[in-house]
Amino acid sequence: MGRVDKGLQPFRGATLAAHVHARLAPQVTTVAINANRNLPQYQAIAGDGPVLADFLDGFAGPLAGLQVGLEYCPTELLLTVPCDSPFFPADLAERLQAALAAEGADLAMAVTMERDDADPAAAPYRQPHPVFSLIKASVLPQLQAYLATDARRMEGFFKTLRVAEVLFDDATAFSNINTLEELQRHERSAAAGPASAPSAVGAGGQRVDHDAAALPVDEAQRLICARIGAVDASETLPLLSALDRVLAADIISPINVPAYDNSAMDGYALRGADLPAEGASVTLNTIGIAYAGRPFTQAPRPGECVRVMTGAAMPPGCDSVLPQELAAAIDGDQVTIAHDAIRAGANLRRAGEDLKAGGVAIAAGKLLRPADLGLVASLGIGEVSVKRKLKVAFFSTGDELRSLGETLEPGCVYDSNRYTLFGMLTRLGCEAIDLGVVRDDPTALKAALSAAAGQADAIITSGGVSEGAADYTRDIMAMLGDVAFWKLAMRPGRPLAFGQVRTERDSAWLFGLPGNPVAVMVSFYLFARPALLRMMGAAQATLPTVQARAAEAMRKRPGRTEYQRGIVSTGADGVAQVRLTGAQGSGILSSMTEANCIVVLHHAQGNVSAGQMVEVLLFDGLT
């Protein structure tokens, strides 16, 4: 699951790791958790038991975990199970221990008999499950010796031990959860209960229907982002072409910025030692002028100073600048300074105070904005390595849709979603590939999805994903890939399809957005935008929010997140305040054009009364 921490994924009302912990606890004396991140969350699961991080540098494989486990192990035997296999047998420890003792082995391992799915006629084969093992704590020196040879493979280490294999009947008991679909499938089948199992399962590319409780927004976001990774390809571009692209490699500063100590003001450069004592004043003699780009290279002697312009290199020996307007008197070359005018070191920009040579000026993953272009230029760098532009194909679905220029017959509407999507994708820096309007017809939809997968990294569709829609979008999407259809606990934008569309040669991520124009925008910003940014390689994908005072009461039902269109302004007391744009129907696009923000009313939140603070998502951040 990529960068997602599998053990902490929600599963049947808790996390996967909590389930594994609960199943393990009755079988052993102590449960220790091996984790290398999110340690506080794991500690909450471990209770009194320890949470142990690897100490084998740069290697997170199973042997690293085994090493810490054996080091810690307070008992004679150590049982290992992975955090993503919540179904292992309740008698695992007992049966492994019996075999270990009977065979005088160092290690007892679970095995099952399995069949080749591709060749059901073939004889079953023996499948070892080395991560489900009971091991003598006394083998630690052997493991240390093995690791010292730089070997890291579990199988290799096991070859150095006497191993007892224990055959378990139920192969599925050792299955782990590898993909988010699997996790969702298990999660949903449990939620739906035995009486109403999910209608189908995605393994063969069929539809996955989730009739159970609607999925909260943040969970859907997490599930999507966990599956998606950044595109690999990058290209080198001239700086002026790199605006809004994602930096592919760190920009290392080749120089100090500024490159030399220089004056921050127009005034007089002097030696701090010449500044007057408390209550006194001093008059210095000006011996020359330093301009930006034209240094004055002679060091002033005690009692002397140099006239300097902003940005001019500090003359040798000078460490302070008196701004000209702070001089007590100027008479020809004579400058008089009062005791409290400046402190030594004032108004000096030190070499390297902005950036140090050799340091990271901008880290990879930064979406390049105007300030970034300027910073790169200030380093004398004219080309940058950026991630390649993401290609996103989009089309609208619906028999009722007419394109611009066509006659609007009764019962038809102009297709507006393609225009909104074009705008949102373009502002995000994607190459937007417009595939037009596709009729609610299986052949047309199939052709459009295949064509889209053939030329794009991601596909965005609108319409046809709600339950009971009289069209074929869902069936075709499900047929062409592994697509999940979610009912989300949100408004607007309840239905959402997400998954991967595959053809023989290509694949692309699919975001099937709802049809209603406001729902399209809201679901694009919440689900497609962060995922696309991730694909673009951007390190930052969250939208900036601020708190504003509700200028009016807002109706809100707990149990779903509501996104209402608002206008934020500054109240008389200087505090941000927000009012709604009126009718909030998910088809009312004018509510979006009038709005300058979206009010986010959270899942658990109820009605909001006037004066209460609410979270607001500013449109200005939505590029």
**CB of residue 147 vs ligand AMP: minimum separation in angstroms?**
57
**With respect to ligand AMP, which residue has the nearer C-beta, 439 or 549?**
439
Nearest to 496, CA basis, from 470, 524, 476, 518:
524
Residue among 464 and 481 whose Cβ is closer to Mg ion:
464
Per-residue burial over 243-282, b = 16 or more CB atoms within 10 Å of its CB, e = otherwise: ebbbbbeebebebbbbeebbbebbbbbbbeebbbeeeeeb
Residue 168 or 485 having the CB closest to ligand AMP: 485
Among 267, 429, 464, 530, binds ligand AMP (CB under 6 A): 464
Q: How far is the CB of 63 from ligand AMP (least distance, A)?
A: 51
Does 591 bind ligand AMP (CB under 6 A)? Our answer is no
Q: Which of 398, 481, 499, 566 binds ligand AMP (CB under 6 A)?
A: 398
DSSP result, 436-452:
EEE-S-HHHHHHHHHHH
How far apart, in Å, are the Cα atoms of 305 and each of 244, 401, 424, 449? 47, 77, 58, 75
Residues 277-316 that bind ligand AMP (CB under 6 A): none
Residue closer to ligand AMP (CB basis): 493 or 537: 493
Q: Indicate the residue among 130 and 463 with the shorter CB distance to ligand AMP.
A: 463
Task: Tell me how far, at minimum, the Cβ of 401 lies from ligand AMP, in Å.
Answer: 5
Residue by residue, DSSP assigns 527-546 as IIHHHHHHHHT-S--PPPEE
Tokens 């224990």, located at residue: 166
CB of 501 to ligand AMP, least distance (A): 18
State the minimum distance, in angstroms, from the CB of residue 407 to ligand AMP: 16
Kindly indicate which of the ranges 369-377, 398-406, 425-433, 565-573 contains the residues binding ligand AMP, using the contact rule CB under 6 A.
398-406
The one segment of 46-54, 315-323, 422-430, 458-466 that binds ligand AMP by CB under 6 A:
458-466
User: In the range 486-545, which residues lie near ligand AMP by CB under 6 A?
Assistant: 514-517
CA atoms lying within 13 Å on the CB side of residue 185: 18
Residue 377 in contact with ligand AMP, rule: CB under 6 A: no
Question: Cα 248 from chain centroid?
Answer: 16
Check binding of 396 to ligand AMP (CB under 6 A): yes
Minimum distance, C-beta of residue 519 to ligand AMP, in the bound complex (Å) = 8
**Cβ distance 509 to 533 under 8 Å?**
no
User: Alpha carbon of 213 to those of 209, 560, 574: distances in Å?
Assistant: 12, 11, 42
Residue 157 or 563 having the CB closest to ligand AMP = 563
462 binds, among Mg ion, ligand AMP, none (CB under 5 to 8 A by kind): ligand AMP
In whole angstroms, what is the distance from residue 392 CA to residue 397 CA? 16
Considering the complex, state which of residue 355 and residue 518 has its C-beta at the smaller distance from Mg ion: 518
Ranges assigned E (strand) in 519-596: 545-550, 561-570, 576-580
CB 462 to ligand AMP: min, Å: 5
Residue 110: C-alpha distances to residues 46, 66, 104, 130, 494 (Å): 24, 16, 16, 7, 44
Backbone torsions φ then ψ of 197, nearest 5 degrees: -65, 155
What is the Cα–Cα distance from 530 to 132, expressed in whole angstroms? 37
35, 401, 488, 550: residue in contact with ligand AMP (rule CB under 6 A): 401
**Closer to ligand AMP at the Cβ: 464 or 537?**
464
Please choose which of Mg ion, ligand AMP, none residue 249 contacts, taking the beta carbon within 5 to 8 angstroms, the exact cut-off set by kind. Answer: none
- Nearest Cα residue to 416 out of 404, 432, 424: 404
Contact status: 429 vs ligand AMP (CB under 6 A):
no
Parallel/antiparallel/unpaired status of strands 262-263 and 348-349: antiparallel
User: Under the rule (CB under 5 A), what is the footprint of Mg ion?
Assistant: 398, 463-464, 515
Closer Cβ to ligand AMP, 463 or 481, answer by number: 463
Residue 466 binding partner per list ligand AMP, Mg ion, none, with a CB distance cut-off of 5 to 8 Å that depends on partner kind = ligand AMP
- Torsion angle, alpha carbons of 305, 308, 312, 318, to 10: 20
Work out the number of other CB atoms within 10 angstroms of the CB of residue 22: 13
- Shortest approach of ligand AMP to residue 398 CB, angstroms? 5
Answer yes or no whether residue 417 interacts with ligand AMP by CB under 6 A.
yes
Query: Shortest approach of ligand AMP to residue 220 CB, angstroms?
Result: 17
- Least distance (Å) from ligand AMP to the CB of residue 512? 9
Residue 401 binds which one of ligand AMP, Mg ion, none, with CB within 5 to 8 A depending on kind?
ligand AMP
Q: What is the DSSP string of 227-293?
A: H------EEEEEGGG-TTPBBSS-EE-SS-BSSS-EESSSEEEE-GGGSPPTT-EEEEEEEEEEBTT
# binding residues, ligand AMP (CB under 6 A): 17
User: What angle do helix axes 442-455 and 473-480 make, rounded to 10 degrees?
Assistant: 40
Under rule CB under 6 A, residue 243 binds ligand AMP: no
613-617-619-623 Cα dihedral, nearest 10 degrees = 160
Residue facing ligand AMP at closest CB distance: 515
Which spans of this chain sit near ligand AMP (rule: CB under 6 A)? 396, 398, 400-401, 413, 415-417, 462-464, 466, 469, 514-517
